[in-house]
Amino acid sequence: MVLAGRPNVGKSTFLNAAVGGKVAIVSEKPQTTRRAIRGVRTDPRTETQIVFVDLPGIQRPRDPLTERMAGRVTAELRGSDAGLLILDAVQGVGPGDRFTATALAEAGLPIAIAVNKIDRLPKAGVAAALLAATALSPDSEVFPISARTGEGLPALLAHLATVIPEGPYLYEPGERSDQPQALLLAELIREAAIRRTFSELPHAVEAVVEDITRPREDLTRLAASIWVETSSQKRIVVGAGGRMIKAIGIAARKSIEAELESRVHLELTVRVRRAWRSDEALLDRLGIE
Ligand SMILES: Nc1nc2c(ncn2[C@@H]2O[C@H](COP(=O)(O)OP(=O)(O)OP(=O)(O)O)[C@@H](O)[C@H]2O)c(=O)[nH]1
Ligand SMILES: [Mg+2]
């Protein structure tokens, strides 16, 4: 089941809520998600398993990085058996949502619509957003939800379980994601970095975990790099007196400790890597394909 929608509507927040754990990073900046991330929700009570595919927000590509992100969306739509179109109740329905709805329809996917962020609207506003969503795809069922508070999620998830085709479990019931651990940890570092930086900078940031060791039973040591594209960006990420990189490191370490359930020593280096977003071989190695 693909999660499709404009950047920033809350696809990754929904994924985390649906699988009950942190699988995808979330930020208030659009175009946070770069890879297709599979999140697995297994409900032993009803013996259903839904594999969600969180996708980059659908947008017009402007460099090799965003071209690959858009290509991944198209490929995943083709390979999926159902789609959940996620809308932002506050923003209302716009051309980007219509484009996404058309892409799902052209892929021949049965779709449901989630109108997200209803915690930010009064009842009348929610009603108007639901109406606009229905107009977008009259045959689809529409669900008001808040991925943040969990409101509306049980009804939506129960409906989605009836939409997917029957078959054997694809993942072990305990598995939450197909994402390699080093990649999730790198993403947690990137999340800490983009949450603290502004304007165009988040798009220029990538994080890479270079080394993970466990010198003691209760301690994990991580060496990681944060890449930016120019030395002025590096100055921003390091910050005056190193204050920014310190804050990023503290935030990243906290979320990595929660993930690993271990104490973590995190060593962060900021590197300038010119035009990494246009380096095709590098994007391959980063698993952005
Ligand atoms: N108030 C409120 N905010 C939400 C809700 N769901 C997501 N958000 C916020 O919306 C912003 C974007 O959320 P993401 O989950 O990163 O959105 P996305 O659709 O995955 O974005 P891209 O990966 O960039 O396409 C974040 O600041 C979230 O905290 C919600 O139900 N209510
Ligand atoms: Mg996302």
What is the average pLDDT across 173-197?
94
What is the average pLDDT across 132-152?
96
Supply the residue whose CA is at minimum distance from atom 3 of ligand 1.
117
> pLDDT band for position 200 (50/70/90)?
confident
Question: Domains of the chain (ranges plus CATH)?
Answer: 2-163 (3.40.50.300), 181-285 (3.30.300.20)
**What pLDDT sits at residue 14?**
98
What's the rounded Cα separation, in Å, for the pair 57 and 70? 8
**What pLDDT sits at residue 77?**
95
Residue 206: how many other CB atoms lie within 10 Å: 25
CA-atom Rg of the chain in angstroms: 19
**What pLDDT sits at residue 76?**
96
> pLDDT band for position 13 (50/70/90)?
very high
> pLDDT band for position 59 (50/70/90)?
confident
**What pLDDT sits at residue 160?**
96
Secondary structure of residue 233 in the 3-state scheme: helix
What is the average pLDDT across 176-187?
95
Supply the residue whose CA is at minimum distance from atom 2 of ligand 1.
117
What's the rounded Cα separation, in Å, for the pair 28 and 32? 8
Cβ neighbourhood burial of 139 (10 Å; 0-12, 13-18, 19+): exposed
134 residue type, one letter: T
pLDDT surpassing 80 at residue 199:
no
Atom of ligand 1 nearest to the CA of 145: 31
**What pLDDT sits at residue 98?**
95
Q: Distance from the CA of 84 to the center of ligand 2, in angstroms?
A: 14
What is the average pLDDT across 245-274?
97
pLDDT surpassing 80 at residue 175:
yes
Pocket test for ligand 1, best of 2, 6, 13 (most atoms within 8 A of CB): 13
pLDDT surpassing 80 at residue 222:
yes
Q: Which residues of 252-282 are buried (b: 16+ CB within 10 A; e: fewer)?
A: bbebbeeebeeebebebebeebeebbeeeeb
Q: Chain-wide mean pLDDT for the chain?
A: 95
98 residue type, one letter: R
Q: How many CA atoms lie within 13 A of 142 on its CB side?
A: 22
Q: How many residues does the chain have?
A: 289
> pLDDT band for position 198 (50/70/90)?
confident
65-110 pLDDT, tens digit per residue, is: 999 999 999 999 999 999 999 999 999 999 999 999 999 999 999 8
pLDDT surpassing 90 at residue 191:
yes
pLDDT surpassing 80 at residue 255:
yes
128-141 pLDDT, tens digit per residue, is: 999 999 999 999 99
Q: Which ligand is nearest to the CA of 147?
A: 1
Which of left, alpha, beta for 227 (phi over 0: left; psi -120 to 50: alpha)?
beta
